[in-house]
Structure 1
Amino acid sequence: MRTRAVLTPALTLAVMAWAAGAAAQDERPPLRPTPPDTTGQMQGPPAPPSPSAALVGVDAPEDDQDFAACRLALSLLGTSYTLLPPQSDADDPDCGMARPLQVRQIIPGVPLSGEPVMRCDTVRALGFWTRDFLRPAAALLDDAPRLSGIQTGPGYTCRARIGTGADQPKQSEHAYGSAIDIAGFEFDDGSVIAVEPRTDSGSQEESFQRAARGTACLLFTTVLGPGANAAHDNHLHLDLASRNGGWRLCE
């Protein structure tokens, strides 16, 4: 014979209390991830809400979770930067950045001379490149000088690509803050290795430039420098352009 459970008054009250609590829980606003604490590194106001995609041209802005994860990586790298207001260009709606960062020091002891403005993921790639490849390569030079600075050109700037020869060139990755130009490398002994055309001289300067250029291709999707075209004879252009199939352009 089938039996039914009988609720006692105390059990009835307990079930009613549980149901009321569950209903209240359903009415609570969803929890949002807490941005990482970058005290001592980041300066400026907290990250603004994600603006519309129109503000940053054809590049979608980072979502809150990705941006928080990127800032955490910068904190671990020791990057010193300032979070700026969104950037846009009234004359060109295809230019702009939702959450621009102006970088003073990419890793401890390595300032960027131009204090360029970039997207967070561009800064992160530059930081890993500097820490994991440039600084160890510098230690292999004669007398093991320490990398003490990187000479940088612009990060964010609203313009089309240069040096392509096309009648209607596409928008540059600089227009989205996804690119950075590197003009030279400074060392604590006062020496500088400038990015310039080199002709198989076998010098350490040539070897360092080649190492810098080659390893940049592991972190950036575009690397252009001397020999790619005349527009890049005096600097390395590094960017994070997205291409089908994950294809990279390293010249």
Structure 2
Amino acid sequence: MKPVIVACLLSLTPCLGSALADPVKPPVATVPLPPPEPPQRPNDLVPPEPQVTPLPPERPPELVTGKEAVKPPEGKTGSDTPRGQGPDTANPTALPEAPLPPVRPPELSGEAALALKVAAPDDAACLRRLERLGARFESVAPLGNGQCSAPRPLNVTALADGVALEPAAILTCRAAEALARWTTEVQASARKEFDDRLASLSLGGTYVCRGQNHDSDAKLSEHSFANAIDVMGYGFAKRPAIKVTAAAEGSPEATFLATVRASACEFFRTVLGPGSDSAHGNHLHLDERERNAGHRLCQ
């Protein structure tokens, strides 16, 4: 056992006395000092006085326009007029009144306007082309029924190579020319697929005054202007006729129908047939409707 411990055990009083004589002193609390005051602002750093934007100069009197322009009194100039009392106060941007449009000509007003008629197009060049294509046709009287009209219709009975139209078609020259040109492609497809000659086209209608898809509330059909053809079928010299309908896939008939339908898109602005909608499930609708930017509808 250590000597110090032995000594304390032998005399408890001195050891306890020394322990009580030196108690542990608590830490002394300190109070933080306040921060020093900032230095005084120098006198030369005071904020500048606010600046006032100067007013624009007075508008010269010779530049004042409109009814509000007032000449300054004699002996005074425009600069003498107090601000806020010049002609610019009511309407600083007043301009002269716009002139009225010219009077409508009497021939374009009332009953005279209703009597105006648009001149029919000159078909002289088209008729010569149609003759060179081998078509047989004759001019008929103008057609008119309200908005349905055809000023210079043709009665077309046959096309090149003696292809008969059954029945004859009442068409504009432009539609007849497109039909004649397309039929030459149909003739080539008939010789290629069937080694036969196209003899006739079975038509469902040409000039009919009606709405699209026979809907009286719809926009007028191109049939109303003799500008459309409905092809129902194709007749041949030797083989049986073919109707415009679905054919067995991969058969010569299906190939022929698909080929002539595709070629029609090169000659007509509108081509609709089986698969386009329910109204064209049994015929090929061809027309020359004009659309914006030359758009064509081929379905």
TM-score by length of 2: 0.59
Change (3 A) 1:150 1:167: closer
Confirm or deny that 1:70 pairs with 2:70. Answer: no
Checking the alignment, whether the CA contact within 8 Å between 2:202 and 2:235 is kept in structure 1 is: yes
How do residues 202-213 of structure 1 correspond to structure 2 at under 5 angstroms? 202-213=250-261
Deviation at 1:78, TM superposition (A): 1.2
Checking the alignment, whether the CA contact within 8 Å between 1:106 and 1:123 is kept in structure 2 is: no
Higher relative contact order, structure no. (Cα contacts within 8 Å, ≥ 6 residues apart)? 1
Deviation at 1:167, TM superposition (A): 8.6
Checking the alignment, whether the CA contact within 8 Å between 2:247 and 2:253 is kept in structure 1 is: no
Deviation at 1:247, TM superposition (A): 0.9
Partner of 1:156: 207
Confirm or deny that 1:191 pairs with 2:240. Answer: yes
Deviation at 1:193, TM superposition (A): 1.3
User: How many residue pairs align between the two structures?
Assistant: 184
Runs of 4+ residues deviating >3 angstroms: none
Letter matched to residue 205 of structure 1: E
Letter matched to residue 239 of structure 1: D
Letter matched to residue 237 of structure 2: D
**Equivalents in 1 of 2:242, 2:226: separation in Å?**
25
Deviation at 1:220, TM superposition (A): 0.3
How do residues 61-210 of structure 1 correspond to structure 2 at under 5 angstroms? 61-62=120-121, 64=122, 67-89=123-145, 93-131=146-184, 133-142=185-194, 144-162=195-213, 168-198=217-247, 201-210=249-258
**Equivalents in 2 of 1:172, 1:78: separation in Å?**
28
**SS in structure 1 of the partner of residue 212 of structure 2:** coil
Deviation at 1:215, TM superposition (A): 0.4
Checking the alignment, whether the CA contact within 8 Å between 2:273 and 2:283 is kept in structure 1 is: yes
Letter matched to residue 213 of structure 2: I
| Higher alpha-carbon deviation: 222-231 or 188-197 | 188-197
Superposed CA RMSD: 1.7
Checking the alignment, whether the CA contact within 8 Å between 1:116 and 1:153 is kept in structure 2 is: no
CA-to-aligned-CA distance 1:56-81 (integer Å, 9 cap, x gap) = xxxx732x2xx001100111011111
Deviation at 1:181, TM superposition (A): 0.4
Deviation at 1:245, TM superposition (A): 1.0
Deviation at 1:141, TM superposition (A): 1.7
Letter matched to residue 100 of structure 1: P
Higher Cα Rg, which structure: 2
TM-score by length of 1: 0.70
Checking the alignment, whether the CA contact within 8 Å between 1:226 and 1:232 is kept in structure 2 is: yes
Identity %: 37
Deviation at 1:52, TM superposition (A): 2.7
CA-to-aligned-CA distance 1:194-243 (integer Å, 9 cap, x gap) = 101346x1111111111111000001000000011111111000000001
Confirm or deny that 1:238 pairs with 2:286. Answer: yes
CA-to-aligned-CA distance 1:155-181 (integer Å, 9 cap, x gap) = 111000017xx8931100000111000
Partner of 1:7: none
**Equivalents in 1 of 2:296, 2:253: separation in Å?**
26
**SS in structure 2 of the partner of residue 150 of structure 1:** strand
